[in-house]
Structure 1
Amino acid sequence: MNFKELGISEDIMRVLKNQGIKDPTPIQAQSFNLIKDGKDVIAEAQTGTGKTLAFLLPLFENINPDSNLVQALILTPTRELALQITEEAKKLKKGKNINILAAYGGKDIGSQLKKLRGNIHLVIATPGRLLDHIERKTINLSKLKTFVLDEADQMLLMGFKNEVETIIKETNKSRQTLCFSATLNSDVKKLAYRYMKEPFSISIKKEEVTLDTIKQDVVETTDRWKQDSLCKVLDEDNPFMAIIFCRTKRRADDLEAALHKRGYDCKKLHSDVLQAKREKIMKAFRNGDFQYLIATDVASRGLDINGVSHIYNYDIPETVESYIHRIGRTGRAGEEGYTCLFVDPKDKKMLEEIERTIKLKISRRILDGGSNG
Structure 2
Amino acid sequence: MENQILFADLGLSDEVMQAVTEMGFVAPSPIQAESIPFLLDGRDVIGQAQTGTGKTAAFGIPLIDKIDPNDKYVQSLILCPTRELAVQVSEELRRLAKFKRGVWITAIYGGDSYERQNRDLRKGCQIVVGTPGRVMDHIERGTLRLDQLKYIVLDEADEMLDMGFREDIESVLADCPEDRQTVFFSATMPKPILDLTKRYQRNPQLVKVTKNEVTNANIEQSWYAVRPDAKFEAMCRLIDFHQIKLMLVFSNQKARVDEIVEQFQMRGYAAEGLHGDMRQAARNQVMSKFRGGTTQILVATDVAARGIDVDDVEAVFNYDVPMDSEYYVHRIGRTGRAGKSGKAFTLASGSEKYRIRDIQNYTKVEIPRGKLPTFADVFAIKKTRFVERVQQTIEEGTSEFYSDIFDTLQEAGYEASAIVSALAQLNLGGVKMTEDNLEEEARKKFDRAPGDRNGNSRFGDRRGNDRFGDRRNNYNDGRGGNSTRERVDRDGKPFRRGTDAGMVRLFINIGKNFKITPSHIVGAITGETGLPGKVIGQIDLFDSYSFVDVPKEHQQTILNALDGNTIKGKRVNVEVARV
Q: Name 2:17's counterpart in structure 1.
A: 13
Secondary structure in structure 2 of the residue aligned to 1:297: coil
Choose the corresponding residue for 1:365, options 360, 370, 378: 370
Q: Does 1:91 align with 2:95?
A: yes
Q: Does 1:255 align with 2:322?
A: no
In the alignment, the residues of structure 1 paired with residue 309 and residue 145 of structure 2 have an alpha-carbon distance, to the nearest angstrom, of 31
Q: Name 1:63's counterpart in structure 2.
A: 67
Secondary structure in structure 2 of the residue aligned to 1:193: helix
Identity %, equivalent residues: 41
2:271–2:295 CA contact under 8 A, matched in 1: yes
Q: Classify 1:324/1:91 alpha carbon distance in 2 versus 1 (closer, same or farther; 3 Å).
A: same
Q: Classify 1:202/1:353 alpha carbon distance in 2 versus 1 (closer, same or farther; 3 Å).
A: farther
Secondary structure in structure 2 of the residue aligned to 1:44: strand
Choose the corresponding residue for 1:217, options 213, 222, 228: 222
Shift of 1:107: 3.0
Secondary structure in structure 1 of the residue aligned to 2:304: helix
Q: Name 1:127's counterpart in structure 2.
A: 132
Q: Does 1:27 align with 2:31?
A: yes
Q: Name 2:204's counterpart in structure 1.
A: 199
Shift of 1:306: 3.4
Q: Classify 1:42/1:53 alpha carbon distance in 2 versus 1 (closer, same or farther; 3 Å).
A: same
Secondary structure in structure 2 of the residue aligned to 1:85: helix
Q: Classify 1:81/1:9 alpha carbon distance in 2 versus 1 (closer, same or farther; 3 Å).
A: same
Most deviating of 226-235 and 131-140:
226-235
Shift of 1:158: 2.2
Q: Of the two structures, which has the highest relative contact order with CA contacts closer than 8 Å and spacing of 6 or more?
A: 1
Give the count of matched residue pairs: 373
Q: Classify 1:209/1:364 alpha carbon distance in 2 versus 1 (closer, same or farther; 3 Å).
A: closer
Q: Name 2:111's counterpart in structure 1.
A: 106
Q: Name 1:309's counterpart in structure 2.
A: 314
Shift of 1:148: 0.7
Q: Name 2:58's counterpart in structure 1.
A: 54
**Structure of larger gyration radius:** 2
In the alignment, the residues of structure 1 paired with residue 307 and residue 176 of structure 2 have an alpha-carbon distance, to the nearest angstrom, of 26
In the alignment, the residues of structure 2 paired with residue 213 and residue 203 of structure 1 have an alpha-carbon distance, to the nearest angstrom, of 21
1:49–1:208 CA contact under 8 A, matched in 2: no
Q: Name 2:280's counterpart in structure 1.
A: 275
- 5+ long unaligned stretches in structure 1: none
* Residues 321-360 of structure 1 aligned to structure 2 (within 5 Å): 321-356=326-361, 358-360=363-365
Code of the residue aligned with 1:197 in structure 2: it is: R
Code of the residue aligned with 1:76 in structure 2: it is: C
Shift of 1:235: 4.3
String of CA shifts for 1:277-304, please: whole Å, max 9, x gaps.
0110011111222221012223222322
User: Aligned-residue CA RMSD in angstroms?
Assistant: 2.4
Q: Name 2:141's counterpart in structure 1.
A: 136
Shift of 1:230: 2.9
In the alignment, the residues of structure 2 paired with residue 21 and residue 210 of structure 1 have an alpha-carbon distance, to the nearest angstrom, of 24
* Residues 159-198 of structure 1 aligned to structure 2 (within 5 Å): 159-198=164-203
Q: What is the TM-score with the length of structure 2 in the denominator?
A: 0.60
1:78–1:299 CA contact under 8 A, matched in 2: no
In the alignment, the residues of structure 2 paired with residue 252 and residue 201 of structure 1 have an alpha-carbon distance, to the nearest angstrom, of 41
2:273–2:300 CA contact under 8 A, matched in 1: yes
Code of the residue aligned with 1:294 in structure 2: it is: V
Choose the corresponding residue for 2:151, options 141, 146, 165: 146
Code of the residue aligned with 1:36 in structure 2: it is: L
1:27–1:204 CA contact under 8 A, matched in 2: yes
Q: Classify 1:187/1:228 alpha carbon distance in 2 versus 1 (closer, same or farther; 3 Å).
A: farther
Choose the corresponding residue for 2:48, options 28, 31, 44: 44
Code of the residue aligned with 2:80 in structure 1: it is: T
In the alignment, the residues of structure 2 paired with residue 122 and residue 101 of structure 1 have an alpha-carbon distance, to the nearest angstrom, of 7
Code of the residue aligned with 2:347 in structure 1: it is: F
Secondary structure in structure 1 of the residue aligned to 2:20: helix
Code of the residue aligned with 2:333 in structure 1: it is: G
1:32–1:57 CA contact under 8 A, matched in 2: yes
Shift of 1:225: 4.4
String of CA shifts for 1:95-124, please: whole Å, max 9, x gaps.
323221221233332232222223321111
- 5+ long unaligned stretches in structure 2: 375-435, 441-579
